[in-house]
Amino acid sequence: MDDGNKLLLSGDEAIALAAWQAGVALGAGYPGTPSTEILENFSKLGGHAQWSPNEKVAMEVAIGAAFGGARALVTMKHVGLNVASDPLFTVAYTGVAGALVIVSADDPGMHSSQNEQDNRRYAVAAGVPMLEPSDSQEAYDFLLAAVNISERWKIPVLLRLTTRVCHSSSLVRPRTERDTPKAASFARDLKGRVMVPGYARLAHRRLRQKLAEIAEWNEHCPLNKVVPGGKSPGLITSGVSFMHAREAAPECSVLKLGLTHPLPMRKIAQFAKSVERCVVIEEGDPYLAEAIRAAGIPVEAKPEMYRFGELDVARVRRILRADTTPEPVPPPGKPPQLCDACAYRIVFDTLHRHDCIVAGDIGCYTLGALPPFEAMDSCVCMGASLGIGLGLRHVLPPDQACRVVSVIGDSTFVHSGISGLVEMAYNPPPGGHVVVILDNSTTAMTGHQEHPGTGRNLQHEPTGRVVLEDMARACGIRRVQVIEPRVGSDAFEHALTEALKSRELAVIIARRPCVLVARQLKEYEKQCACQENGGVCESAV
Partner 1 sequence: MSPPCNIIVAGLGGQGVLTATDIIADVARRAGFDVKKSEIKGMSQRGGSVTCDVRFGVEILSPMVPLGEADYLLALDATQLEPNRHLLRPGGATIEPSVIAADKLPQKKMLNVALLGALSAHLSMTGQEWLEAVGAAFDPQFLEANRQAFLLGRASQNKSVHATVPAA
By CB under 8 A, name the binding residues for partner 1: 1-3, 6, 8, 33-34, 111-112, 135, 163-164, 167-171, 240, 243-244, 246-247, 312-314, 328, 330-339, 364, 367, 445, 447, 516
Q: Closer to partner 1 at the Cβ: 202 or 341?
A: 341
Phi, psi dihedral angles at 97 (to 5 degrees):
-90, -40
Q: Closer to partner 1 at the Cβ: 169 or 457?
A: 169
Q: Closer to partner 1 at the Cβ: 66 or 342?
A: 342
Answer for the pair 388, 469: CB distance below 8 angstroms, yes or no.
no
Answer for the pair 139, 18: CB distance below 8 angstroms, yes or no.
yes
Long-range residue pairs from 440-443, CB within 8 A, at least 24 positions apart, any chain: 440/343, 440/344, 440/364, 440/409, 440/410, 440/511, 440/512, 440/513, 440/514, 441/410, 441/511, 441/513, 441/514, 441/521, 442/410, 442/411, 442/513, 442/514, 442/517, 442/521, 443/31, 443/363, 443/409, 443/411
Q: Closer to partner 1 at the Cβ: 310 or 493?
A: 310
Minimum CB distance to partner 1, residue 1 (Å): 2
Buried/exposed code over 40-75 (b: 16+ C-beta within 10 A; e: otherwise) = bbbbeeebbbbbbbbbbbbbbbbbebbbbbbbbbbb
Q: How many CA atoms, within 13 angstroms, populate the side-chain half-sphere of residue 529?
A: 10
Minimum CB distance to partner 1, residue 519 (Å): 15
> Distance (Å, rounded) from C-alpha 357 to C-alpha 520?
35
Minimum CB distance to partner 1, residue 458 (Å): 19
Q: Closer to partner 1 at the Cβ: 35 or 218?
A: 35
Minimum CB distance to partner 1, residue 4 (Å): 10
Q: Closer to partner 1 at the Cβ: 151 or 312?
A: 312
Minimum CB distance to partner 1, residue 535 (Å): 27
Buried/exposed code over 109-141 (b: 16+ C-beta within 10 A; e: otherwise) = beeebeebbbbbebbbebbbbbbbbbbbbbbbb
Q: Closer to partner 1 at the Cβ: 90 or 520?
A: 520
Q: Closer to partner 1 at the Cβ: 211 or 445?
A: 445
Answer for the pair 144, 172: CB distance below 8 angstroms, yes or no.
no
Answer for the pair 423, 389: CB distance below 8 angstroms, yes or no.
no
Q: Closer to partner 1 at the Cβ: 39 or 480?
A: 39
Minimum CB distance to partner 1, residue 445 (Å): 8
**Closest listed residue to residue 313, CA positions, set 275, 281, 279:** 281
Sheet of strand 433-439: strand arrangement: 357-359, 404-409, 433-439, 505-511, 479-483
> Distance (Å, rounded) from C-alpha 99 to C-alpha 97?
7
Minimum CB distance to partner 1, residue 379 (Å): 15
Give every CB contact of residue 31 below 8 A, 6+ residues apart in sequence: 51, 411, 443, 446, 447, 449
Minimum CB distance to partner 1, residue 500 (Å): 29
Q: Closer to partner 1 at the Cβ: 200 or 517?
A: 517
Minimum CB distance to partner 1, residue 366 (Å): 11
Minimum CB distance to partner 1, residue 168 (Å): 4
